[in-house]
Amino acid sequence: MRISLTRLLAARLVLNFCVFVLPASCFAITASSEDRNAHSLVGTWHLVRYIDTPDGGQPIQAFGKEPIGLFIFTPDGHVSISIMRNPPDINAATADPDPDACVPNWYCAYFGTYTVSYERGTWVTHVLGGNIPAYLGTDQSRTFKLNGNTLTISEAYMADGQHVRAERVLRRDTQGR
């Protein structure tokens, strides 16, 4: 069975760097002044874009053109993050020796508690559980920018010696669905 290079690279990016694995210190992104109140992240956020772009390469949409995902931040400091490929690959392997891999690789989720620094434009998830073995018991820091009902996470990382820019865009659920 032959697998295209783009599909192989996309799978490797998902497996190695799923759900923003890399250091959040790559970029200093801050929330605007109107988005710096104590509960700006609280609520349900729907994932609308999940793109990784290698330098000089084409954008990779590891979770499809219309990924499905929810980031839920509660007022008492709990967070749950779930991202699924759309459409899912239900025939994909369900085990991978890579500790950064999601099991299965078309669905990534983790949960725990969180702390946020609006001045630094970061939140830290203190991971209690999930399907990414390397995340269990760790602190996962993310840089972010809030602009009204849009949450943007932009970071960079290295994959196989290549610089990759990651962008995740979410919209606040204002309907209460």
Residue 4 pLDDT: 43
Peptide bond into 104 cis (omega under 30): yes
Query: Which residues, given as ranges, of the chain have pLDDT below 70?
Result: 1-38, 90-101, 176-177
Residue 25 pLDDT: 31
| pTM for the structure as a whole | 0.75
CA nearest neighbour of 133 among 35, 48, 21: 21
134 within 8 A of 110, measured Cβ to Cβ: no
Residue 44 pLDDT: 97
Peptide bond into 88 cis (omega under 30): no
- Token output for 158: 């290295």
Digit-coded pLDDT (tens) for 19-60: 444 333 333 334 444 445 657 899 999 999 999 999 999 999
In this structure, the strands spanning 78-84 and 122-130 are unpaired
